[in-house]
């Protein structure tokens, strides 16, 4: 499993969708060749004349399948341009994921990582996808069905306590930005996002309710638009295990509150997966902030407890990635 090759299986339904797919694919090829951006504009123009139900179906390199709406530039752009999404994370997960692992996907969106990891693990009851927005959850559930129920879907907000109902900011056309974090939610609502209510659940409760067996490794992906600390507060039992946290610290967050919490309050070791394949230990907050050079970019980091098996694996990946 590399997560670096996504092939188009088909487009549908009907001839119009196939023609739209050809147009988008041709634009992706041409724009890549001349090193110019603009694919999002082509997708937007094409989708303007498309049936809302039109889609492109991808087959990922693990054999997993992913159905993407024909106007969904958030997913189409990386999959068509690079054949992957966040390949630096996929490279690391390839080294640590095996059939005895489990994967909890907080902020699963339409299910890219859940589908990819479910196929890599290859065992039922080991992948849980949590999505906060109703529209994205429906697409997530569709992709779970396409993969023969390989992962469990939970429509909820991963939070620091279970059983409550909270308000979230959502917009189906901008589904990557859904958030329950109060400050982020207020900003999104000012930008025209609507509101939905959703129940809360902790990662610890997700683990006890949905994961089967006793996984030797739990990978916890947290991409929840400002609510990362809430999620991790609800994962205390999970973090005591051999657990790898994959989280985003956005460039616009100048104070790096999430990384400060992970380093200080949780006392975890933090690593940065560089595009070269090397995994570099971040010794302090200033090292993390030195990585975050673009304010418009989200940066992925890895965290785990020292002394755990996954800590040893990450440390070894910093030695000589070219040999692995």
Under DSSP, the state recorded for 172 is: G
Fold of 87-323: Rossmann fold (3.40.50)
SS3 275: coil
Closest CA to 310 of 265, 274, 276, 270: 270
- Over its length of 324 residues, how does the chain's per-residue pLDDT go in tens digits? 544 578 999 998 988 888 889 988 888 888 876 655 788 888 888 877 778 889 999 999 889 999 999 999 999 999 998 889 999 999 999 999 999 999 999 999 999 999 999 999 999 999 999 999 999 999 999 999 999 999 999 999 999 999 999 999 999 888 889 999 999 999 999 999 999 999 999 999 999 999 999 999 999 999 999 899 999 999 999 999 999 999 999 988 889 999 999 999 999 999 999 988 889 999 999 999 999 999 889 999 999 999 999 999 999 987 544 433
> What tokens were used for 71?
């106007």
Under DSSP, the state recorded for 179 is: B
Helix ranges (DSSP H) in 34-166: 39-48, 73-81, 87-96, 112-121, 134-146
Q: Domain residues of the chain, as ranges? A: 6-81, 87-323
């Amino acid at each position: 499993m590399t997560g670096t090759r996504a092939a188009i299986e088909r487009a549908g339904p009907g001839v119009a969708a196939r023609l739209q797919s050809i147009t988008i694919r041709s634009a992706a090829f041409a724009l890549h060749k001349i090193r110019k951006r603009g694919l999002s504009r082509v997708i937007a123009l094409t989708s303007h004349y498309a049936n809302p139900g039109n889609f492109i179906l991808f087959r990922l390199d693990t054999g997993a399948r992913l159905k993407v709406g024909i106007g969904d530039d958030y997913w189409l752009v990386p999959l068509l341009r690079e054949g992957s999404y966040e390949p630096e994370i996929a490279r690391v997960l390839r080294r640590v994921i095996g059939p005895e692992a489990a994967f909890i996907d907080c902020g699963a969106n339409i299910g890219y990582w859940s589908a990819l990891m479910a196929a890599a693990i290859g065992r039922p009851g080991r992948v849980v996808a949590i999505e906060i927005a109703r529209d994205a959850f429906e697409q997530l559930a569709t992709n779970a069905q396409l993969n023969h129920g390989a992962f469990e879907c939970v429509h909820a907000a991963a939070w620091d306590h279970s059983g409550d109902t909270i308000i979230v900011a959502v917009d189906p056309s901008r589904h990557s930005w859904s958030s329950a974090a109060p400050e982020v939610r207020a900003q999104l609502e000012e930008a025209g996002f609507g509101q939905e209510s959703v129940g809360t659940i902790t990662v610890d409760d997700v683990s006890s309710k949905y994961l089967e067996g006793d996984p030797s490794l739990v990978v916890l992906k947290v991409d929840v638009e400002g609510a990362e600390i809430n999620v991790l507060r609800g994962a205390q039992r999970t973090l005591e295990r051999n657990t790898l946290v994959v989280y985003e610290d956005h460039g616009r967050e100048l104070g790096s509150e999430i990384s400060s919490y992970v380093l200080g309050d949780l006392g975890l070791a933090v690593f940065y997966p560089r595009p070269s394949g090397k995994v570099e230990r971040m010794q302090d907050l200033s090292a993390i902030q030195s990585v975050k050079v673009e304010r418009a970019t989200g940066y992925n980091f890895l965290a785990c407890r020292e002394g755990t098996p996954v800590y040893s694996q990450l440390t070894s990946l910093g030695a000589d990635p070219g040999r692995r």
